[in-house]
Amino acid sequence: MSDRMMIGHLYPGKLHPATLSPERRTASASSDAPKGNFKELLNENLLRISNHAAKRLEQRGIEIKGDQLVQIQSAIEKAAAKGSKESLILMKDMALIVNIPNRTVVTAMDGNAMKDNVFTQIDSAVIIS
């Protein structure tokens, strides 16, 4: 499986037990047992990409790799813990505007598009180094 994000796909927040070693499968299954219904669990652990953001990612040649995805999900969790609704997530060479309650990337910019730009309608920023 490629570690880059494919546009329009949803990605789980945790590894699927089938991708874990047999030792970790049993430990994971007991400690990560779902609490609540499936729909709630699914909505809490996925990162969605809006159509607009998907177009921007494609137009600007931005690829989100596996390790970046983990960092983005961590940033969303931090913003959610502070009560954020719309957050700017800044990484080395990209910026994402994310709707935190829906876990949806609304738009994306590369380093060039970020220059001399004003970010509006956000209530927080998370900087990932």
26: three-class secondary structure by DSSP: helix
Q: Are 94 and 61 in contact (CB under 8 A)?
A: no
Q: How far is the CA of 94 from the CAs of 57, 59, 64, in angstroms?
A: 10, 13, 10
Q: Are 108 and 96 in contact (CB under 8 A)?
A: yes
| pLDDT tens string 69-120 | 899 999 999 999 999 999 999 998 899 999 999 999 999 999 888 888 899 9
Confidence band (pLDDT; 50, 70, 90) for 54?
Answer: very high
Residue 45 is predicted with a pLDDT of: 65
Residue 42 is predicted with a pLDDT of: 55
pTM of this prediction exceeds 0.75: no
Least confident span in 29-33, 54-58, 63-67, 116-120: 29-33
